[in-house]
Structure 1
Amino acid sequence: MKVYCFGEKEKPVIFLFPGTCCHWKGNFGKVIEPLEEYFRVACVSYDGFDETEQTEFPTMTEETEKIEQYIKKEFGGHICAAYGCSLGGSFVGLLAARGNIHMEYGILGGSDLDQSGKFLAKLMTKLMMPVFYPFIANGEMKIPFMKKKMDKMLAEDNGYIRAFMDMIKTPDVDMSHITKRSVENQFYSDLITPLPDQIDPSGTQIHILYALKMGEKYRARYKKHFAGPILHELDLQHEELLAVYPDDWVKVIAEICNRKQGDCAARFKIKGS
């Protein structure tokens, strides 16, 4: 695991956690520079997904422990904020639940927080790998009917699908070094690693950028896992704010962390609840 830091050391620190099998540049490359106006930015590059290392992703728990150790060593165990893109939200939740480091703001970006038993998780992982792994490693869609479906979606796309795909398969980063085992481990481990209910860390506000187009069931899920989360309801799709409107995403994050006053939320029909 590596952490890439940007910006002035004197500013409050925000950690950014990529989504499932994503490269940190694909998720956050467009927002690092504007975030530097408000924060010292630390981007996590998971084991198995950094091109400068020969590693494989272990488990969510082991990776969380490494993140905690890094924060303790480099930042005295305290950071201003942590943002988790999709699967990255699971790391934010685990950090909040374990209580080994302190963050003032934990922010989840439309994370689904899916969990299942080991048998179903193994089955889902096995079914996903023929589709997911070739795309992650080489940008290829091997299964004909899936390729046809993706081509149709891109033809009808208004910008979201292409932007979201670029977040997963970063155009200017060679991801062929990623092993199938790393992809399997991350996908499977995220499903079976339990996230406690009613997480309520002292001195930490939990915020969730709730993409309403994901479905209403996620509201109950967020309120199940966190005690009193602040839901920012967006009339958008999963991680659409980050993928399609990166400058506005930065403004929303800065507003949540009280680094900026503004009304960016109104544009996306966001309200805190």
Structure 2
Amino acid sequence: MQFEEMGNMSGKTLMLLPGTCCDYQTNFGTVITELSEKYHLICVNYDGFDGSDLIFPDIITVTEKIEKYIKDNHGGRLDGAIGSSLGSTFVGQLIMREKVHIDHGIFGSPDLDQSGKVSAYLQSKLVVPLLTSFTKGEKKRNKTKEKLKSFFDMSEETAEKFMQCFSKFNPESIKNEYYTDLLTHLKDDIHVEHTIPHFIYANKMGEKYLKRYKKYFRNPDIREFDMQHEQWLFGDEKYAEPVLKAIDEFMEAKV
């Protein structure tokens, strides 16, 4: 595991938790400068995605390591934590387990998919080979890059960074991350005193995800944005600026 602290060290603490098949450098690379100006950032790379030879074990084992770091280095408390996509699973677990305290849990347009073992196994057998084959061969690589640029309004540079991210990690780590995320369930109607769950709702994902947010958390603070899944992180200021403003408002909200 890798934990790097940076930014405004006198500002509020904000942990950054990246999504599937990503490190924080790629996932938050387009907004980390802006976030660093206001917040004491704690940037996380999971086992298997931290440049080491370790393999990602499972969501709960990694959650326990994150909890230990927060206890050992921040007295068991953070002002905020933001999870990008799969990273939101960790935010949800940190809130639900109550081993540490987070004032503001920020969920970056997650799908919060949950399933049983058979379904998770079948899904991982289908999806993981796709994630690990995007960059095999120049033709497939270029085709995937063009799809990323078109669907998410990505620049050439940002699309290239994500392509590199897909290709540099051990397929076993990717499989374990994807598979165990599906098996790591949240309870319904989670409510922790003095914690506010905030959701960045990308409405182009569809309303079924909005229903999930309301199912798993009691009275969540949901902000709707006209964008695709995590589109604010892909380099276009017209998506990033409104979300960054919302994050500031989240972090200032009274708990």
Task: Tell me if both proteins adopt one fold, taking TM over 0.5 as the criterion.
Answer: yes
Using the TM superposition, give the Cα deviation of residue 21 of structure 1 relative to its aligned residue in structure 2, in angstroms: 1.2
- 1:112 maps to a residue whose letter is D
Q: How does 1:11-22 map to 2 (within 5 A)?
A: 11-22=11-22
Q: How does 1:57-96 map to 2 (within 5 A)?
A: 57-96=56-95
- 1:257 maps to a residue whose letter is M
Question: Are 1:39 and 2:39 an aligned pair?
Answer: yes
**Residue matched to 2:4:** 4
- 2:9 maps to a residue whose letter is K
Using the TM superposition, give the Cα deviation of residue 130 of structure 1 relative to its aligned residue in structure 2, in angstroms: 2.1
Q: How does 1:58-207 map to 2 (within 5 A)?
A: 58-135=57-134, 139-140=135-136, 150=144, 153=147, 156=150, 159-160=153-154, 165-166=159-160, 168-170=162-164, 176=168, 178-207=169-198
Q: 2:247 aligns with which of 250, 253, 263?
A: 253
| Cα offsets for 1:136-162 (capped at 9, x unmatched) | xxx3369x8x77974773685572486
**Superposition RMSD in Å:** 2.5
Distance 1:156 1:56, change over 3 A: closer
Distance 1:160 1:187, change over 3 A: same
**Residue matched to 1:264:** none
Distance 1:156 1:132, change over 3 A: closer
Task: Please state whether the residue corresponding to 1:37 is helix, strand or coil.
Answer: helix
Task: Please state whether the residue corresponding to 2:191 is helix, strand or coil.
Answer: coil
**Residue matched to 1:238:** 229
How many Å separate the matches in 1 of 2:145 and 2:53?
34
Using the TM superposition, give the Cα deviation of residue 247 of structure 1 relative to its aligned residue in structure 2, in angstroms: 4.4
- 1:153 maps to a residue whose letter is K
Distance 1:76 1:141, change over 3 A: farther
Contact 2:189 2:215 in 1 (8 A): yes
Aligned residues: 250
Contact 1:84 1:90 in 2 (8 A): yes
Using the TM superposition, give the Cα deviation of residue 223 of structure 1 relative to its aligned residue in structure 2, in angstroms: 0.6
Using the TM superposition, give the Cα deviation of residue 25 of structure 1 relative to its aligned residue in structure 2, in angstroms: 0.6
The two structures have a TM-score, normalised by structure 1, of 0.83
Distance 1:124 1:154, change over 3 A: closer
Using the TM superposition, give the Cα deviation of residue 31 of structure 1 relative to its aligned residue in structure 2, in angstroms: 1.8
Instruction: Give the share of equivalent positions with the same residue, in percent.
Output: 39
Distance 1:74 1:237, change over 3 A: same
Contact 1:77 1:102 in 2 (8 A): yes
Distance 1:167 1:247, change over 3 A: farther
The two structures have a TM-score, normalised by structure 2, of 0.89
Task: Please state whether the residue corresponding to 1:14 is helix, strand or coil.
Answer: strand
Contact 1:26 1:166 in 2 (8 A): no
